[in-house]
Structure 1
Amino acid sequence: MNIPFLGHRHSKTGEAVLPADPEGVADLLSECELLRSQARAVGVRLDDTPASLEALDQVLPRWRDDEEILPWLGNDAGFYLGTVIVRTVPGAVWDIRPGGPVVRLPSGREFDVVDSGHEWAASGVPELSQLYAEVAEA
């Protein structure tokens, strides 16, 4: 994912450095308009909580037959999963990398939520709520 206005700043060790406004980045990544509209259409409210991940896991995946929407929905699912993690797991933060955003946990472990979102959108496995539980325990 290349978001030009976020820049490609790196520390002396080569690690990506978050832009000066990490809350702005978090807000941008939390938009997930396509996922939110798909959820809203079936009566699921995405309120950035773990319970909303469980509700998403129960949605009938009509998007799997649409090759055009699937990659976009996978991105949104990953961004939404990351949003829930960053907002509910103390110390979890977004880390913008040249290959795309990841969530960095206080332990230093990094979690590629976008890859996980694509897997969920394509097959439903692993479930978003299961991924959240795994990360929240770390």
Structure 2
Amino acid sequence: MNLPFLGNRRRKLADARFTAAPEAVAALLSECELLRSQAAQAGVRLDDTAASLEALDQLVPRWRDDAETLPWLGNDAGLYLGTVVVRTLPGAQWEIRPGEPPVVRLASGREIDVVTAGRGWAESGVPELSQLYAEVAEV
């Protein structure tokens, strides 16, 4: 519903909703149900560490044959990468903007488009999730 008299208030309210409870947002983004299910089937435990990203990079990409699963798994992979970054790098946090995929903002101010990275990983294996994490962790 477009209510012109509200002006930018609706956008500010939407932004406030996400900044009010960063822990709740982080918990929601960390679910990654499809990725966690696929990893568990392959015997990989996702414990929100950099080592689990390395284990994901070693999985045989059977999902690439399933055009329906591929984009969802890529999205989950990106959110999982973001979860690992936010939980392990001091000052890193999720940034949510209405109508855009979530990004991770590092303490330095740099933003990482983890969803796009996850989709690339699911489609072609590039970038490797562990390599991207290593690059981000060095900054």
- TM-score w.r.t. length of structure 2: 0.87
Judging changes above 3 Å, is the alpha-carbon distance between structure 1 residues 27 and 56 closer, same or farther for their aligned structure 2 residues? same
Q: Percent identity?
A: 74
1:110-135 per-position Cα deviation (integer Å, ceiling 9, x unaligned): 00000000000000011000000011
Q: Does 1:119 align with 2:123?
A: no
Describe how 1:119-138 pairs up with structure 2 within 5 A.
119-138=120-139
**Amino acid in structure 1 at the alignment position of 2:112:** F
Q: Does 1:82 align with 2:112?
A: no
Aligned residue number for residue 38 of structure 1:
38
Q: Give me the whole-angstrom Cα distance separating, in 1, the residues matched to 2:105 and 2:97.
A: 11
Q: Give me the whole-angstrom Cα distance separating, in 2, the residues matched to 1:112 and 1:58.
A: 22
How many residue pairs were aligned?
Answer: 127
**Amino acid in structure 2 at the alignment position of 1:67:** A
1:78-119 per-position Cα deviation (integer Å, ceiling 9, x unaligned): 000000000000000000023110000000000000000000
1:16-72 per-position Cα deviation (integer Å, ceiling 9, x unaligned): 554311000000000000000000001000000000000000000000010000000
SS in 1 for 2:95: strand
**Amino acid in structure 1 at the alignment position of 2:77:** A
Describe how 1:10-89 pairs up with structure 2 within 5 A.
10=12, 18-89=18-89
Judging changes above 3 Å, is the alpha-carbon distance between structure 1 residues 55 and 21 closer, same or farther for their aligned structure 2 residues? same
SS in 2 for 1:100: coil
Q: Give me the whole-angstrom Cα distance separating, in 2, the residues matched to 1:51 and 1:9.
A: 38
- For structure 2, the residue ranges without an aligned partner over 5 or more in a row are 1-9
- TM-score w.r.t. length of structure 1: 0.88
- For structure 1, the residue ranges without an aligned partner over 5 or more in a row are 1-7
Aligned residue number for residue 5 of structure 1:
none
Aligned residue number for residue 101 of structure 2:
100
1:5-24 per-position Cα deviation (integer Å, ceiling 9, x unaligned): xxx7449xxxx554311000
Judging changes above 3 Å, is the alpha-carbon distance between structure 1 residues 91 and 35 closer, same or farther for their aligned structure 2 residues? same
Q: Give me the whole-angstrom Cα distance separating, in 2, the residues matched to 1:75 and 1:59.
A: 17
Aligned residue number for residue 110 of structure 1:
111
